[in-house]
Amino acid sequence: MEENKHIVRRGIYILPNLFTTASLFTGFMAIIWASNGKFEWSAMGILFSALMDGLDGKVARLTGTSSEFGVQYDSLADLVAFGVAPGFMVYAWMIDAFGRTGAAMAFLFATCGALRLARFNVAAASGASKKFFIGLPIPAAGCTLAALVFFVPYLPTMLQGLVPGFCLLLTGLLGVLMVSRVRYYSFKEYGFLRTHRYRSMVTAILLFSMIMAEPRLFGFLLFFIYIIVGLVYTFILLPKKTPLPFTQ
């Protein structure tokens, strides 16, 4: 009986790591698909990795199986799924036309993602506030590039020629934002949602309706809005609240 309990417990311990492995697998496949020119498949792989990444931590907390091993494994999976895979995808898809500059920008994106993950792990270990992320989270950066693949076909023909340059600049900007001090709401503390339940519910319904109506169009726009909101909060709203520079 005790042996059966041990087996069940071990299975529960492995469960969140299976979600992490699924995230790593689809991130790896995103690289394979991009190398074969299947960019929409690659983008879908990255977005699916984000779904798995969102579930592994929740499963670990629900089952009481959070561990330092899981934290480190999750970071390594995130680096592949949201750093290396999107960087390679956007290079093969659009910015390879810029030669070494395109390769350098893709590498910058992946490197900044690695630095972002390292800083996040250090901050989490020190007990930093969970209300805001300091710097754009790497899953958001990777998913922005993935969502862009589906958004580009909606652009007018006259703007299609500007897409490679826009992708180059966006890739660099996302890399810089990941290692910046810009604050992004984490959605891990729900004080605002509890005190503004009606507005939160209406907003959630609107967002859900938009995504269901045109996921290819509104996916990128929502990620882009999230990026802009962080910049507005950090450089416009936050200085009005306190003139002192914030620290992590």
Q: Over the stretch 49-87, which tens digit does the pLDDT of each residue have?
A: 999 998 988 888 888 888 888 889 999 999 999 999 999
Residue 28 lies in a domain: yes
Residue 246 lies in a domain: no
Helix (H) or strand (E) holding 247: none
Structural domain total, the chain: 1
Using DSSP, state whether 197 is helix, strand or coil: helix
How many H-runs (helices) and E-runs (strands) does the chain carry?
12, 2
Please compute the mean of the pLDDT values over residues 2-10 and round it to a whole number: 50
pLDDT tens figures, 141-152 = 999 999 999 999
Please enumerate, as own/partner, the contacts of 115-124 that have beta carbons within 8 Å and a separation of 24 or more.
Answer: 115/178, 115/179, 116/141, 116/178, 116/179, 117/75, 117/78, 117/79, 117/83, 118/75, 119/179, 120/75, 121/71, 121/72, 121/75, 123/248, 124/71
pLDDT value, residue 127:
66
pLDDT tens figures, 79-98 = 999 999 999 999 999 999 99
Q: Could you tell me if 178 and 136 are in contact, meaning their C-beta atoms sit under 8 angstroms apart?
A: yes
Please compute the mean of the pLDDT values over residues 4-22 and round it to a whole number: 71
CATH of the domain at 160: 1.20.120.1760
Residue 235 lies in a domain: yes
- The parent domain of residue 38 ranges over 2-241
Residue 142 lies in a domain: yes
Residue 99 lies in a domain: yes
Q: How many C-beta atoms surround the C-beta of residue 209 within 10 A?
A: 10
